[in-house]
Amino acid sequence: MSCQFTQAVGQLSIQIRLLIVETLISHQLTIFLVSRPSLLMCAFAVIVTLACASCVTASPRTGTTSTFALTSIPRKLPISKTPRTCNVSHLPIFTLVHQADIFTIYGVEADQQAVLDVAEVLQEQAIQVNHALGYDYRDPITVEIFPDQESLDQYGMNPDMKGYYAYSGNHLIQMVSPRKPTIHQEIDYSQRVGIAVHEYVHLVNNVINPTMPPWLNEGVAIYMGPHELYAYVCQNIFPFEQIPPFRELEQSYDSVPAADLFAYALVDFIIHEYGQENLNLLIRNPDRLEVILGTARSEFERHWREYMKLHYIER
Ligand SMILES: [Zn+2]
């Protein structure tokens, strides 16, 4: 999605500036929930969830993952327990093509409904995203819906991001068919369709500011895409003891545990306390945070922590 960026932007090995944004289903968030059985049932009830828990912008050869992980949980977990070495999938034949506004969506025969559903959600929500971000994105976008995870892993544009449900870059979104359940059964069809919107936000972000810092790029994509799971965690089981210094999110996003959750929390805070207009200014000039928000960085961070204490619930 998702997905996660500054160093991520553009691969210099190719002429075209290519920003790959991957979306990873909330693998470690699920582990976190599973480790708390009493929360699990509630969580699953609410987990109509985000499908794009964690997204990183990464160059094609340096895939990185921001995760929702407790410090006691290894940060680099396999995306799937299924050995991939035996998977040999056929090159998908995209017999379906559907044009919807700027989106050209390709899919295999079995994905007729999925193609229509992805087209519909993109057409509908792209307008809202453009409006919110104050940018009239009109470039053509190709969406390729792969029939399964194996085929995306094998034929997607980023071979280093095996196991990721979707990613995007260079006017292209590639995703697994929402018809196929993820390894997390609780993520329902509509949320899987919605992953396309998360990736769309990344594409718009990347045009507005190709060097947008990862925390901001990811936070905005999560906030504007499906984010029920993040909202649920904030409202029920927020890990206050894991809140990282803002500086760490800025400087070493990929190594911060649960970075995507805190990126979401930052954007939530900025929108509610400073407004969408200021967020949009920040997206365009992230280095001018103090001027745009009219506050010293230390004050900004203190205020953010207070906001979380006031609005989120400890687990
Ligand atoms: Zn993302």
Q: Identify which of 214, 231, 271 has the alpha carbon closest to the alpha carbon of residue 29.
A: 231
Q: What is the pLDDT of residues 142-166, one digit of tens each?
A: 999 999 999 999 999 998 889 999 9
What is the 85 CA–ligand 1 centroid distance (Å)? 27
pLDDT at 38: 36
What is the 178 CA–ligand 1 centroid distance (Å)? 17
pLDDT at 101: 95
Looking only at the bridges linking them, the beta strands covering 103-107 and 141-146 are parallel
What is the 201 CA–ligand 1 centroid distance (Å)? 8
What is the 198 CA–ligand 1 centroid distance (Å)? 6
Q: Taking the complete model, does pTM exceed 0.75, yes or no?
A: yes
Residues facing 146 on adjacent strands: 176
User: Which residue has better confidence, 315 or 136?
Assistant: 136
What is the 214 CA–ligand 1 centroid distance (Å)? 9
A 10 A CB-CB count for 253 gives 28
Per 3-state DSSP, the chain is made up of helix, strand and coil in percentages (nearest 5) of 50, 10, 40
What is the 163 CA–ligand 1 centroid distance (Å)? 15
What is the 223 CA–ligand 1 centroid distance (Å)? 10
Whether the pLDDT of residue 278 is over 90: the answer is yes
What integer is the mean pLDDT of 35-54? 33
What is the 63 CA–ligand 1 centroid distance (Å)? 13
What is the 215 CA–ligand 1 centroid distance (Å)? 10
Whether the pLDDT of residue 88 is over 60: the answer is yes
Tell me the domains of the chain and their CATH numbers: 6-71+88-311 (1.10.390)
